[in-house]
């Protein structure tokens, strides 16, 4: 297991988020938009939305926001959540995105994954966000087996040093996107194929 983590670290050292943003609020919006949507699509959409602040997204309004984010899917609920979160950030946090997990998950549209991404990327706080890629790779490699993202998150926290949680999140995402894909994983070129318990030899 330690060797698997070492190879992931060596392979994806320096991996960074693929979402484009220039502020914690823009990151929050981008991660909300990324649900059931690719980062590439989100980046295309946010070109027409950013730069943005909680105050000017409120002025944008529901209809115009829906129009802009329509390509991301689930645009009505995402627009509603973003607007509600922006209003709470203005009213309760003086226009600044809160920087604790417990505060973040009170915002509409923000679950564990989104909160952990914002903590990790925007506030440099160790966190392990479990998206579909992290969930799949952790289970296939048997790094952390679980039926829910929370089970996988807690399992990964036990085997990865806290100071590497944020980096490990990116190792697992990049591996899941590029090698250990949901369909037709590229096992033959995987740097872990000699160690992977799911590799079909």
pLDDT (tens digit per residue) in 35-75: 989 999 999 999 999 999 999 999 999 999 999 999 999 99
Provide the pLDDT for residue 40.
Answer: 94
pLDDT at position 2: 85
Q: Which residues are catalytic?
A: 113, 131
Q: Given pLDDT bands bounded at 50, 70 and 90, which one contains residue 200?
A: low
Distance separating alpha carbons of residues 81 and 86, to the nearest angstrom: 8
**Model confidence at 201: pLDDT above 60:** no
Burial bucket for residue 118 (CB in 10 Å: 0-12, 13-18, 19+)? buried
- Residue partners of 85: CB distance under 8 A and separation at least 6: 28, 32, 107, 108, 109, 110
Identify whether the C-beta of residue 168 lies closer than 8 Å to the C-beta of residue 8.
Answer: yes
Query: How far from 168 is each of 7, 88, 123, 134, CA to CA, in Å?
Result: 11, 31, 16, 9
By C-alpha distance, which of 66, 62, 56, 118 is closest to 90? 56
| Percentage with pLDDT > 70 across the chain | 99
């Amino acid at each position: 297991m330690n060797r698997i983590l070492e190879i992931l670290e060596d392979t994806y050292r320096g991996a960074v988020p693929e979402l484009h943003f220039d502020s914690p609020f823009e990151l929050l919006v981008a991660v909300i938009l990324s649900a059931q949507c690719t980062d590439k699509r989100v980046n295309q959409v946010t070109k027409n939305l950013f730069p943005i602040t909680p105050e000017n997204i409120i002025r944008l309004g529901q209809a115009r926001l829906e129009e802009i984010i329509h390509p991301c899917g689930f645009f009505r609920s995402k627009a509603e959540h973003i607007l509600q979160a922006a209003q709470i950030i203005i009213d309760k946090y003086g226009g600044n995105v809160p920087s604790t997990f417990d505060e973040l998950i009170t915002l509409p549209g923000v679950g564990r994954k989104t909160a952990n991404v914002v903590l990790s990327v925007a506030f440099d706080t160790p966190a392990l966000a479990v998206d579909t890629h992290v969930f799949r790779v952790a289970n296939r490699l048997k790094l952390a087996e679980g039926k829910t993202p929370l089970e996988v998150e807690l399992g990964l926290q036990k085997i990865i040093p806290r100071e590497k949680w944020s980096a490990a999140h990116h190792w697992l995402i990049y591996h899941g996107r590029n090698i250990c894909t949901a369909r037709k994983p590229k096992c033959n070129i995987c740097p872990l194929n000699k160690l992977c318990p799911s590799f079909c030899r």
